[in-house]
Amino acid sequence: MSTTGATADPLAALGSLPGVPESVESVRKAVDRVYGHRIMRRRSNEITSEAALRGARGTAALSGADWALEEVRRRTDFSGDDEARVVGAALRLTAEAGQLLSIWRQSPLRVLARLHLVAAASNDDTVGRPRQEGEPVDEPLVELPPPSAAEVHGRLEGLSELIIAGGSAPALVTAAVVHGELLALRPFTSRNGLVARAAERIVLVGSGLDPKSVCPAEVGHAELGRAAYLAALDGYVSGTPEGMAAWIAHCGKAIELGARESTAVCEALQRGAA
């Protein structure tokens, strides 16, 4: 996405694309249903914890580690094979994201660097900074050619400026653009998908749409499937109004499915308390 030039608030302009207002309204209704559940008034901390676990499982699945929820819940050692390390990274990011909300609006690039540091869990000198010219990108599930390091730096600065400036765009639109831009750019040498989805969660929580973090979009993205996820990303990368709208709608559906997941958790807790 080009983040400069066209309008004073390009994110707000995206909110008026065909179908996007309807997605925004549908997401709001889905989130409101969770927050209106009687269990949320008494046991919201439990719902938040469960949503975090399910969200971590979902984002790990999209990055190639599709474990059963109970396996994620019971495992304590994530230092084994590649899949275990992906799941461990997803869990660490989920825990870290909530601590970065206050920094995000002032210094989003600092937050992204921290997210990569947490995800990579390595002392390699490529960790925690945007990649440089000639450095490879290890993101096998996204086959689109990565932009040059120079383009990455320029677009990250543009994205940062938009976030810091704020604006009137709905939370869904901002979250979808942050997610899509990071996935398209793959600014780090590894773990870009995990970082992009963690950043989406930070936007949704920090915007006030989902302040208790109980509507894990990562669950919905995983449920919709990797093929649909990558097809929607192709639309984002195309930069066309239709492609952008399709990506935003896809992210909206993922949030709705995350909300539905937590509603089901509320219902299960209610039945257990009855």
Reported as a single tens digit per residue, the pLDDT across 220-242 is 999 999 999 999 999 999 999 99
Burial profile 93-127: b = 16 or more Cβ within 10 angstroms, e = fewer: bbebbeebeeebbeebbebbbbbbbbbbeeeeebb
pTM of the model: 0.94
In this prediction, residues 39-52 reach a mean pLDDT of 95
Q: How far is CA 70 from the centre of its chain?
A: 22
Q: What is the pLDDT of residues 193-224, one digit of tens each?
A: 999 999 999 999 999 999 999 999 999 999 99
Q: What 3-state class would DSSP assign to 75?
A: coil
Residue 273 amino acid letter = A
